[in-house]
Structure 1
Amino acid sequence: MRLPSATRRIPLLLALLLVLSLALAACSRGDKSPQSRPPSATQSSANAAAPVDAVKIVVEEPGLYRVTAADLAAAGFDLATQEMAQLALTAGGAPVAFSMAGSGDEQAITFYGEPRDSRYGSQNIYWLNKAQSEAQPAAVAAADASPSDAAPVTTFRASQHLEASKNYLSQVTDTDDHWLWESLFAPAVYTVTFDLPGYAGGDADMVISLWGNSEDRSNPDHSARLRLNGETIGESAWDGKGWKTLTETVPAANLLPVGNELGIELPGDTEAVVDMVYLNQVDVAYDRQLATTADEQLAFSLPGATDLVVSGSAGEDALVWDVTDPLMPVALTGAVADSGGLRLRTTVGDAPRMVVLAEPDALLSPDAVLPATGADLRDNPEGADYIAVAYPDFIPALQPLVEHRRSQGLRVTVASIDDVYDTFSYGVPDPAAIRDYMRYARDNWTGPAPRFLLLVGDATYDYRGFLDGSTPNFVPTYLLSTHFVGETASDNWFVSLDDEDDLPDMAVGRIPAQTAQQVEDVVAKTLAYEADTTAGEWDGRALFVADNEQEGFQTIADNLAADAVPASYQIDKVYLGSSDNPTSQIVKALDEGVGLVTYVGHGSMNVWGKDKMFQISDSNALDNNRLPFLVTMTCLVGYFHHPTATSMGEELLLNPKGGIVAGLMPTSESLATDQTELATNVYAHMFGDAGTVGEAIMLGKRDLNLDRNLMQDIIETFTLLGDPALVLQKPG
Structure 2
Amino acid sequence: MFVKPTTHIKLAILTLCAFCHFTIAAQSTQYKVNWHISNRLSDSISTQVMTCDNAIYNKGNIPVIEHVIALQQHNVNITVNHAEYEQIPDEELMLIGQTEIPTTLQTETSIINQQGSYKAFIHIFPFVENDGKIQRLKSYSLETKPSTEKLPSTNTTTNSYKNQSVLANGSFVKIRVSSSGIYRLTYEELQNMGVNPAQVRIFGYGGAELDRNFSNYRIDDLPEVPVYMYMGSDNQFGPGDYILFHAQGPISWNYEYISSLGQRGFTHNLNTYSQYGYYFVTSDAGSRERLNVGTEATFTPADTIIVTTFIDYQLHEQELINLQDVTGQNGGGDEFYGEQFSNGNTLQNISFQVNNPTTNNARVCISAVANSTSGSSTLKLSMNGGSEQTMTFNAIAPSIYIMGTELGKNFYFPLQGGNNTLKINASMPSGSQMYLNWVELHAERTLTMTGNSMYFRTTTSYNTNLRNRFIIRNASADLQVWNITRLDSIYRMPTQLVGNELHFASGNHTIEQFVAVVPNAGSNAYNTPEIIGSVNQQNLHQLKDIEYVIITPEIFRSEANRLAAAHEELNGLTTAVVTDEEVYNEFSSGTPDASAYRWLMKMLYDRHTTGESTLAPRYLLLMGDGTFDNRKLLSQSGSNLLLTYQSDRGNLDATLAYPTDDYFGFLDDNSYFSETQMYVNIGIGRFPVSTIDQARNMVDKTIAYMNNTQKGNWKTQLCFLADDGDGTQHMSSIDTIAQLVKKLYPEYVSNKIILDSYLQEVTAAGESYPIAKNKFDNFLRNGMLYFCYMGHGSPSGITNEGMLTIKEIQTLANAKQAIWALGTCSFSHWDSPVVSAGEEAVLNANGGAIGVFSAARTVYADQNERLMLQFSQNLFAKENGDYLHIGDVVMRTKNAPNRESNRMSYCYLGDPAVKIVYPQPYTIETDSINGKTAEEGDTLRALSTNVLKGKIVDEDGQIVTDFQGKAYLTVYDKEQTFTTLNNHSDIPEAEYPFTYKDRIGILFKGEVTVTDGKFESYFMVPKDIQYNYGSGRITYYANDTLQGNEGIGYYENYIVGGSNPDAVYETDGPEMEIYLNSTQFVSGGQVDERPMFIAFLSDPNGINTSGSGIGHDLLLTVDNNTDQSWNLNDVFVTTGGDFRQGSINYKMAEMTEGKHTLSFRAWDLLNNSTTKTLDFEVVKNLAPEVFDIISYPNPIRSTETLHIEIVHDRPESILEVEINIFDVSGRRVYSTQQSCTTSISLQPQEAFCGSGVYLYQMRIKTQNSEYTTKTRKIIVIGQ
Judging changes above 3 Å, is the alpha-carbon distance between structure 1 residues 679 and 79 closer, same or farther for their aligned structure 2 residues?
A: same
Q: 2:753 corresponds to which letter in structure 1?
A: K
Task: Check 1:183–1:554 CA distance in 2 against 1; reply closer, same or farther (3 A cut).
Answer: farther
Q: 1:544 aligns with which of 697, 709, 720?
A: 720
| Of 580, 590, 593, the match for 1:430 | 593
- Following TM superposition, by how much is the alpha carbon of 1:437 offset from its aligned partner in structure 2, in angstroms? 1.9
- Aligned CA distance change for structure 1 residues 120 and 618 (closer, same or farther; 3 Å): same
Q: Which residue is equivalent to 2:932?
A: none
Q: Which moved more, 1:224-233 or 1:648-657?
A: 224-233
1:459 Cα shift?
2.0
Answer 1 or 2: higher relative contact order, Cα 8 Å, separation at least 6: 1
Aligned with 2:885 (options 692, 715, 720)? 692
The counterpart of 1:522, out of the listed 690, 695, 698, is 698
Match of 2:279 among 113, 116, 126: 126
Instruction: Give the distance between the partners of 2:690 and 2:830, measured in 1 at CA.
Output: 11
Select the residue among 156, 163, 172 that pairs with 2:317: 163
Residues 533-576 of structure 1 show CA distances to partners (whole Å, capped at 9, x for unaligned) of: 44214343333332224151022222323331545326252626
The match for 2:425 is 264
Q: Which residue of 2 aligns with 1:497?
A: 667
Q: 1:536 to 1:59 in 2, by over 3 A?
A: same
1:36 is aligned to: none
Q: C-alpha offsets along residues 254-293 of structure 1, whole Å, 9 cap, x if unaligned?
A: x9959x583421244xxxx997643112345789999999
Compared with structure 1, are the counterparts of its residues 192 and 652 closer, same or farther at alpha carbon in structure 2 (3 Å cutoff)?
Answer: same
Q: Distance in 2 between matches of 1:307 and 1:420?
A: 42
Question: CA separation in 2, counterparts of 1:50 and 1:105?
Answer: 30
1:561 matched to which residue of 2? 738
**Aligned partner (choices 356, 363, 375) of residue 526 of structure 2:** 363
Question: 1:3–1:299: structure 2 CA closer, same or farther, 3 Å change rule?
Answer: closer
Q: Deviations over 1:473-514 (max 9, x none)?
A: 732232335687224222122223224663332221111212
Aligned residue for 1:661, secondary structure, equals strand
Question: Which region of structure 1 is more displaced relative to structure 2, 549-558 or 469-478?
Answer: 469-478
State the AA in 1 paired with 2:631. R
**Counterpart for residue 348 of structure 1:** 504
Higher percent of residues as strand: 2
Mapped to 2, the partners of 1:223 and 1:601 lie a distance apart of 41
Deviates more, 1:671-680 or 1:517-526: 671-680
Contact 1:460 1:473 in 2 (8 A): no
**Which secondary structure state, in structure 2, belongs to the residue aligned with residue 139 of structure 1?**
coil
Q: Which residue of structure 2 lines up, in the alignment, with residue 466 of structure 1? A: 633
- Does 499-508 or 553-562 show the bigger shift? 499-508
Residues 595, 390 of structure 1: CA spacing in aligned structure 2 closer, same or farther, 3 A cutoff?
Answer: same
Superposition map of 1:217-228 within 5 A = 221-226=376-381
| Residue of structure 1 in register with 2:408 after alignment | 244
Counterpart secondary structure, 1:723: coil
Equivalent position to 1:452, from 615, 619, 629: 619
Note the C-alpha offset of 1:461: 2.6
**One-letter amino acid of the structure 2 residue matched with residue 474 of structure 1:** L
- The corresponding residue for 1:27 is none
For 1:604, the equivalent position in structure 2 comes to 794
Paired residue for 1:390? 552
CA RMSD of aligned residues (A): 4.5
The aligned residue for residue 245 of structure 2 is 111
CA distance change for structure 1 residues 12 and 335 in 2, over 3 Å: closer, same or farther? farther
Residue in structure 1 matched with residue 290 of structure 2 by the alignment: 138
2:437 matched residue in structure 1: 280
Segment drifting more, 566-575 vs 429-438: 566-575
The reply on whether 1:634 has 2:804 as its aligned counterpart is no
Displacement of 1:297: 5.2
Deviations 1:305-359 (A, max 9, x none): 656459xxxx99x8765566575354899999xxxxxx94333347896434573
For 2:720 and 2:457, locate their aligned partners in 1 and report how far apart those are by CA, in whole Å: 70
- Equivalent in 35, 38, 44 of residue 6 of structure 1: 38
Per-residue deviation at 1:470?
Answer: 1.8
Pair 1:160–1:443, CA change in 2 (3 A): closer
Aligned to 1:279, the other structure's residue is in SS state: strand
Question: Over residues 563-592 of structure 1, what are the superposed CA-to-partner deviations in whole Å (9 max), with x where a residue is unaligned?
Answer: 315453262526266444358545554234
Shift of 1:194: 4.1
Q: For the structure 1 residues 200 and 372, does the alpha-carbon distance in structure 2 shift closer, same or farther, using more than 3 Å as the test?
A: same
1:420 Cα offset (Å):
1.9
Structure 1 residues 672 and 371, CA gap change in structure 2 (3 angstroms): same
For the pair 1:717 / 2:900, whether they are aligned, the reply is no
Alignment of 1:612-691 (within 5 A): 613-642=803-832, 644-689=833-878, 690-691=883-884
Structure 1 residues 177 and 299: alpha-carbon distance in aligned structure 2, compared to 1, 3 A threshold: farther
Decide whether the 8 Å contact of 2:737 with 2:872 is kept in 1.
no
Q: Higher helix proportion, which one?
A: 1
**3-state DSSP of counterpart to 1:521:** helix
Does structure 1 retain, via aligned residues, the 8 Å contact 2:202–2:279? no
Compute the displacement of 1:195 (Å): 4.4
Moved more, 343-352 or 389-398: 343-352
Instruction: Tell me the distance in 2 between the aligned counterparts of 1:378 and 1:352.
Output: 30
TM-score (normalised: structure 1): 0.75
TM-aligned CA distance change 1:464 to 1:574, over 3 Å: same
CA contact (8 A) 2:40 2:47 kept: no
Contact conserved, 2:551 with 2:623, CA < 8 A, in 1? yes
SS at match of 1:207: strand
Match of 1:441 in 2: 604
Q: Using the alignment, how far apart are the partners of 2:344 and 2:240 within structure 1?
A: 56
Task: Using the aligned pairs only, state the percent identity.
Answer: 22
Report how far residue 205 of structure 1 moved.
4.4
Cα 1:629/1:319, change in 2 over 3 Å: same
Partners of 1:291 and 1:498 lie apart in 2 by 47
Distance 1:603 1:297, change over 3 A: farther
Aligned to 1:636, what secondary structure does the other structure show? coil
Q: Indicate the residue corresponding to 1:59 in structure 2.
A: 177
Cα separation, 2, equivalents of 1:492 and 1:423: 22
Q: Secondary structure at the match of 1:281?
A: strand
Instruction: Go from structure 1 to structure 2 and tell me whether the alpha carbon gap of 1:228 and 1:129 turns closer, same or farther (over 3 Å shift).
Output: closer
CA apart distance, 1:664: 0.8
**Is residue 323–residue 355 contact of structure 1 (8 Å, CA) maintained in 2?**
no
Looking at structure 2, the residues matched to 193 and 589 of structure 1 have their Cα atoms a distance apart, in angstroms, of 62
Which one has a bigger Cα radius of gyration?
A: 2
Work out whether residues 305 and 345 of structure 1, in 8 Å CA contact, stay in contact via their aligned partners in 2.
no
Does structure 2 retain, via aligned residues, the 8 Å contact 1:113–1:326? Answer: no
Tell me, yes or no, if the aligned pair for 2:318 and 2:338 is still in contact at 8 Å: yes
Is residue 447–residue 472 contact of structure 2 (8 Å, CA) maintained in 1? no
Indicate conservation of the 8 Å contact 2:863/2:902, yes or no. Answer: yes
Query: What is the letter of the counterpart of residue 478 of structure 1?
Result: Y
Contact 1:211 1:278 (C-alpha < 8 Å) held by counterparts: yes
Contact kept? 1:189, 1:263, Cα under 8 Å: no
Amino acid corresponding to residue 638 of structure 1 in structure 2: S
The one-letter code sitting in structure 1 at the alignment partner of 2:812 is L
Equivalent pairs, count: 651
Task: Return the letter of the residue paired with 2:751.
Answer: I
| Alignment of 1:192 onto 2:341 | no
For 1:226, the aligned partner's letter is L
Structure 1 counterpart of 2:30: none
